[in-house]
Amino acid sequence: MSRAGPDRSKRVDTSINRLISQIIPDNPHNTEDENQQRHDLLFQQVKEQLERPHPPPLADQNHASELIRRRLVQSDPNLALRFSNLYSRLLALPILDQKWAMLYLLHQLTDSPDPTLPDPLAFSEFQQEETRRQRRRDREEYGSLSPSDRDSEDGLAPDPMAGAYRPTDLRDVLKNPKESKSPDEDPLYGSSKRPVSPSEWKRNRVQVDEYPDPPRRDVAIKSKLLADNYSSIEPPEPTILRDLPYTLQGISSATLPFGPDYSLKLPSSLPPPLIGLLHTLAEPSLLCKALQDFVKTPAKGLLDQSLRAAINDELRSYLTLVATLEGQIRRALSSIDEMAPRSGIGKAGVTLKRCVVWTREATMGLRLLSLIAEESKTKKGGQIISLIHSFSTSHGDPIVGAFAERLLTPITRPFYDILRHWIYDGELSDPYSEFFIQLKSTEAMAKTKTGSTNVWDEKYEMSHTMIPSIVTLEFANKVHLIGKSLNFIRHSCGDAQWVESYSKASSKELRYGDTATLESWIDDAYKITMRRLVHLMTHKFHLFEHLQALKSYILLGQGDFIALLMESLAANLDRPAGAQYRHTLTAQLEHAIRGSNAQYDSPEVLRRLDARMLQLSHGDIGWDCFTLEYKIDAPVDVVVSDWGNRQYLKVFNFLWRIKRVEFALSSSWRKVTTGSRGVLQTDHAMVQETWKTTRGFLAEMVHFVGQLQYYILFEVIESSWTELQARLKREDATLDDIIKAHKNYLNSITHKGLLGARRRRFVASSSNSSATAANEEDDNSYMIQLGELLRTMLSYRDCVDGLYSWSVSDFTRRQEADLRREDMDYDESPGGPHSEFPALQERLQHLGDRFRTRLQILLGDLAYQPDVDLRFLGVSMNFNDVYQPIRRKAKGTPAPTTTGGTDKEKGKERERERE
């Protein structure tokens, strides 16, 4: 201060004043005067202090900065770097002459206690002052106050001798931790005069909560006290801390060795609180160890592998945390002072408790991971994804949710790879069958191989348990269809080229997360593949033409062809089945094709048409065994399957029989009608009568067959065909839709075509055991009834043929007789006593009656069909009520009332018809 002029010292004075008022708060409990007094006092002291001669501290400003830098490098290199930056900026500034002094000041103040935090030292001094003040007040009461006494009390630096007569000072307690350990000689309890014991002090504090800092101060002081009361433990905390990182990594250490079966041995000499802490710390350690072992176990599949990889990743980040922790611990351990209480660990910044807090979040992650690992052991493929997905979507804890969500991305990668391969290449690259679409097992394939393999339905199947919950069922179905179609196009339709170009053009990287885009991609892929497949089916494999051909040839849609075929084959087929030769059949078929409009059909279709004999059984004639066949090959047989072929054959055989009866009846009718003008003319009343009834029956039969045929061909087949067409022509029709539509088409034909319809509706409801038997019996009952009817008609026709030949022979006999005897009266019996006429007549009568009865039963059944079309068939056969439909009684249930009802119904129908 030697060079300070008056001006300068004045400025310093104002600065001191500002400094004091800046730092020292006003005590609101004191008066203005007291505060002023205090201020002045302090001013005096400060000035004194400043003016006291000091040795010039450091000559060189670099020295100050060097001191600071060295200090910072020790604690934190980052801070040192920052300081260097700041320092260079400071040097660049034009103002400030005494930069080094400023730095030196800061250096002196480095790590000074926070003025806002309670300082036990200050507190103890305060206590001393209070004591002295009190004493002074006491002394004042006796009127003895010496100035020297006052001086000593208010001296700036604590008097070194003061400690001697202040044995109860808190500060001393802090300095001598060893002494404080025994409560008996605890000096705190020695001083009963003032609230110096922490508990009393605290009681006071509690009442003044409006001050912001008391609780913190309380804690700080208490922790200090606690630290000093701390008894040494074995092994000491630093040792445990040093070993902790190893334990956290799952490595055994001297103090904390791992036992067998994921157990950790804690030293028994530790006090319970520490054991508690170590228990908490043991959890991540054990989990980590278990997970490390889990990661090492062999994976069962791609998803298992990805799960292990993801867990490994998480473990790695956990180990990073442990490494940081270890660094902290190392640094803390290197800086602790062995001599300080509790080895000074409280000040070093790393304690077991802190480690617990730091590993807390990681522990939660590890816990979830080990849960996943544990549960995934019994699961596979999509189920693993479902498991983790359920954590991410339906767990209430948002942390768990986010964690699982993060895991999902790496784990689902192989799943999406398979998915991509499947929907863009149509190949299933799933070596561990983890995908929800699986190749059917070879045994299942072998079973179906007895027929023909239906690639479409049989090759791949969807396993519902493997569908991960990240995709919906509808989505999975679509995916299944896409891949199946691509596979079908590639392998069955031989269009691998298109599949490849498609996969190149539209292949996209699929990943977890963006479900909306993923779905739109899947939709795109779905549309493209389906369009392509239908296109291939219609244009390359002529699916629709085949269906059309099946209808016109197998379902007798092409009338001229069938008529011609039947005409040319009739003579041949009357012979026994054994006498049928394939070459004649094919020749006749060829003839029928050439002679009808069928010749204009495409050769592709005609090539597939074939005539052959079914398996012979003894006594069959050609009619029973003949069949037409339409051969369907590779890709189209997906639609027209084996089952479909059988249905077609069934319908064809039925129709063929009807056609044959019709053919037979009409040829007889023709013969009889022409004959009645010539050879059949007779005067015999009985013969005339017989012929009349015979013609009547024949007409009835022709009517019946005509109605039946009309019904099947037009009401059933044509209407179903229209329906099928409508479905096939739909814009978004997939192959599955086509297959389904075709199936429906065949079903409705067989059902309505009397080939499989149930006779009664509520058979099953009566009683269980008998009903099932009756049920099966009933299934084909129309078929049986119609078969009987057709057979009756054929035998009737045979009889008519017999009658015709008898009439012809009778005619010739009569003509011969006429030549011999001109006028001779007829006998009572026509044709003489040995004539076969009565037998024929009786047989005709009998067959005719049987036909009628059967027809009536059939009509009775038809009238109660639930199906409108079948009821309509009954009505059209019996439009003028010639027949009385007979209602067969259901087994065991008398139904007189219902018959009455039906009569009434019939009556109503009749009325309706009249109108």
Partner 1 sequence: MPPQGSREENEKQDAARQAVDILHDISTILNCHLDRRTLSVCISMVENGVNPEALANVVQYLRKEAQKVNFAKQAAAANQ
Among 728, 722, 718, smallest CA distance to 544 is for: 728
Q: Which CB, 124 or 588, lies closer to partner 1?
A: 124
Q: Shortest gap between Cβ of 35 and partner 1 (angstroms)?
A: 9
Tokens 């019946």 found at: 704
Q: Which of residues 672-731 bind partner 1 (CB under 8 A)?
A: none
Toward partner 1, which CB reaches closer, 108 or 317?
108
Stretch that binds partner 1, among 90-98, 595-603, 690-698, 844-852 (CB under 8 A): 90-98
Q: Binding of partner 1 at residue 581 (CB under 8 A)?
A: no
Tokens 């800092």 correspond to what residue?
Answer: 213
Between the CA atoms of 451, 457, 460 and 462, what dihedral angle is there, to the nearest 10 degrees? -130
Q: Is residue 445 close enough to count as binding partner 1 by CB under 8 A? A: no
Q: Which residues have C-beta within 8 Å of that of residue 379, sequence separation ≥ 6?
A: 387
- Cβ pair 735, 533 in contact under 8 A: yes
DSSP 334-379: HH--TTSGGGGHHHHS--HHHHHHHTHHHHHHHHHHHHHHHHHTT-
| Closer residue to partner 1 (CB): 104 or 796 | 104
Which residue among 29, 193, 583, 729 contacts partner 1 (CB under 8 A)? 29
For the bound state, the minimum distance from the C-beta of residue 68 to partner 1, rounded and expressed in Å, comes to 7
Helix (H) or strand (E) holding 630: strand 626-630
Which of 27/269 has CB closer to partner 1? 27
Stretch binding partner 1 (CB under 8 A), from 15-23, 176-184, 237-245, 603-611: 15-23
User: Binding to partner 1 by residue 52, rule CB under 8 A?
Assistant: yes
d(CA 239, CA 267): 12
Q: Does 121 bind partner 1 (CB under 8 A)?
A: yes
- In the region spanning residues 193 to 212, those forming contacts with partner 1, defined by CB under 8 A, are 204-205, 207-208, 211
**Shortest distance, CB of residue 400 to partner 1, whole angstroms?**
39
**Interaction between residue 81 and partner 1 (CB under 8 A):** no
- For position 59 contacting partner 1 by CB under 8 A, the verdict is no
Residue type, 324: T
User: Based on CB atoms, which residue is closest to partner 1, 121 or 634?
Assistant: 121
Considering the rule CB under 8 A, would residue 126 count as an interface residue with partner 1? yes
95 near partner 1, judged by CB under 8 A? yes
Give the residue with the Cβ less far from partner 1, 3 or 296.
3
> Binding to partner 1 by residue 125, rule CB under 8 A?
yes
The region of 114-122, 175-183, 355-363, 707-715 touching partner 1 under the rule CB under 8 A is 114-122
Instruction: Indicate the residue among 117 and 699 with the shorter CB distance to partner 1.
Output: 117
State the nearest-atom distance from the C-beta of 226 to partner 1, in Å. Answer: 22
149-188: contacts with partner 1 (CB under 8 A): 156
Query: Does residue 93 bind partner 1 (CB under 8 A)?
Result: yes
8 part of the interface to partner 1, by CB under 8 A: yes
The owner of tokens 């991509």 is: 420
CB–CB of 698/669 below 8 Å? yes
Q: Give residue 187's Cα distance to chain centre.
A: 73
The amino acid at 67: L
Beta carbon nearer to partner 1, 27 or 409? 27
Report the residue from 31, 110, 429, 515 that binds partner 1 according to the rule CB under 8 A: 110
As measured in angstroms, the least distance from the Cβ of 376 to partner 1 is: 50
- Options 6, 115, 298, 431; binder of partner 1; rule CB under 8 A: 115
Amino acid at 649: L
Q: Which is nearer to partner 1, 111 or 151 (CB)?
A: 111
Query: Residue 907, Cβ neighbours under 10 Å: how many?
Result: 11
- In the complex, minimum distance from the CB of residue 117 to partner 1, in angstroms, rounded to a whole number: 9
Minimum distance of partner 1 from residue 36's CB (angstroms): 14
584 vs 442, 615, 759, CA distance in Å? 43, 17, 41
Q: Give CA–CA dist 420/521, Å, rounded.
A: 11
Is residue 220 a contact point for partner 1 (CB under 8 A)?
Answer: no
Position 46 contacts partner 1 (CB under 8 A): yes
111, 509, 823, 828: residue in contact with partner 1 (rule CB under 8 A): 111
| Among the listed residues 36, 37, 44, 113, the single contact to partner 1 using CB under 8 A | 113
Q: If we measure between CA atoms, which residue out of 878, 884, 881 comes closest to residue 857?
A: 884
Q: Which is nearer to partner 1, 159 or 776 (CB)?
A: 159
How far apart CA 340 and CA 344 sit, in angstroms, is: 5
Distance spanning both ends of the chain, measured CA to CA: 139
- Taking the complex as a whole, how short is the minimal distance between the CB of residue 121 and partner 1, in angstroms? 7
> Applying CB under 8 A, which of residues 61, 63, 123, 606 lies at the interface with partner 1?
123
Closest by Cα among 825, 827, 912, 835 to 875: 912
- Kindly state whether residue 79 participates in binding partner 1, applying the rule CB under 8 A: yes
Selected binder of partner 1 within 40, 130, 374, 523 (CB under 8 A): 130
Least separation in angstroms between CB 69 and partner 1 = 11
Stretch that binds partner 1, among 10-18, 365-373, 492-500, 635-643 (CB under 8 A): 10-18
CB 402 to partner 1: min, Å: 35
Choice between 21 and 876, CB closer to partner 1: 21
d(CA 574, CA 572): 6
Position 67 contacts partner 1 (CB under 8 A): no
Q: Residue 787 interacts with partner 1 (CB under 8 A)? A: no
Q: Which helix (H) or strand (E) holds 258?
A: strand 258-259
Q: For residues 114 and 261, which CB has a smaller minimum distance to partner 1 in the complex?
A: 114
Burial 293-317 (b: 16+ CB within 10 A, else e): ebbeeeeebbbbebbbbbbeebbee
Report if residue 42 touches partner 1, rule: CB under 8 A: yes
Q: How far is the CB of 104 from partner 1 (least distance, A)?
A: 4
Q: Specify burial of residue 325 (Cβ count, 10 A radius: 0-12, 13-18, 19+).
A: buried
How far apart (Å, rounded) are the C-alpha atoms in residues 833 and 588?
46
CA 462 – CA 480 distance, rounded (Å): 7
Q: Which of 31, 36, 44, 50 binds partner 1 (CB under 8 A)?
A: 50
The rounded distance, in Å, linking the Cα atoms of 665 and 794 is 8
- CA 362 to CA 104: how far, in whole Å? 44
DSSP 462: E
What residues are paired with 629 via a beta bridge?
610
Question: In whole angstroms, how close is the CB of 227 to partner 1 at the nearest point?
Answer: 21
- Tell me how far CA of residue 217 lies from CA of 27, 120, 202, 210, 348, in angstroms: 19, 9, 10, 14, 20
Stretch that binds partner 1, among 8-16, 612-620, 731-739, 761-769 (CB under 8 A): 8-16
94: contact with partner 1 by CB under 8 A? yes
The H-or-E segment that residue 636 falls in is none
Closer of 120 and 257 to partner 1 (Cβ): 120
DSSP structure string for 91-129: HH-S--S-HHHHHHHHHHHTTPPPTTS--HHHHHHHHHH
Round to whole Å and give the CA distance between 252 and 128: 53
Give the position of tokens 């522990």.
363
Q: Does 97 bind partner 1 (CB under 8 A)?
A: yes
Nearest residue (CB) to partner 1, 210 versus 822? 210
- Distance of alpha carbon 240 from alpha carbon 332, whole angstroms: 13
Asked whether 294 and 373 are in contact (CB, 8 A), the reply is: yes
The answer to whether the beta carbons of residues 707 and 786 sit under 8 Å apart is no
Neighbouring-strand partners of residue 439:
460
Q: Counting contacts by CB under 8 A, is residue 15 touching partner 1?
A: yes
The DSSP annotation for 561-628 comes to HHHHHHHHHHHHHTSBGGG--HHHHHHHHHHHHHHSGGGGS-HHHHHHEEEEE----TT-BHHHHEEE
Of 73, 122, 579, 699, the one binding partner 1 (CB under 8 A) is: 122
Of 496-535, binders to partner 1 (CB under 8 A) are none
Piece of the chain touching partner 1 by CB under 8 A; list 39-47, 309-317, 538-546, 896-904: 39-47
